[in-house]
Amino acid sequence: GLDRFDLITGARSRIIALEADQPETRSNDGRADPMGGFWIGTMGVSAQPGAGAIYRYYRGELRRLFAPITISNAICFAPDGRTAYFADTTEQAIRRVALDAEGWPEAEPMIHIDLSAEDVNPDGAVTDAEGRMWNAQWGASRVACYGTDGGLVHVVDLPTAQIACQAFGGP
């Protein structure tokens, strides 16, 4: 489920259940959207094919957006809030979907970045202020930057194979 956790007291309170009737799934990857919603993906505990989905929690409503998903990842948003990105890692592709003014999908998702030719597995992703997507690539020892058109801009090689997600810091 989605819970509120108080860092000072350690108190936890349930906001809403998430696949509580499906003990074979767990959450994997989530991010707040620019409109104040929260997108969260699920997957099978043992990565069972198609066991997961991607949801959005917004103003008290939890809505399933996309299924079936095997390993949900790369949830992030364009800076203007009009595009969402997500991946099913097993498909080796990152999809994009247009969003309406409230942040709900208004079209079918399309492949934005196809990583299958490189045999690369997308994991966590973030966008920068210019709208470029930075994607951690599980098993590839790298974080890759893609332009708004989905073209590869830059690769940062790292000395560890299992890169899960990156973050930006600074003012």
CB 158 within 8 A of CB 141: yes
What sign has the CA pseudo-torsion 112, 113, 114, 120?
Answer: negative
CB 51 within 8 A of CB 70: yes
CB 16 within 8 A of CB 27: no
Number of helices and strands in the chain (H, E): 0, 14
The residues carrying an active-site annotation are: 123
Query: Which phi and psi (to 5°) does residue 91 adopt?
Result: -85, -10
CB 128 within 8 A of CB 134: yes
How far is it, in rounded angstroms, from Cα 82 to Cα 102?
9
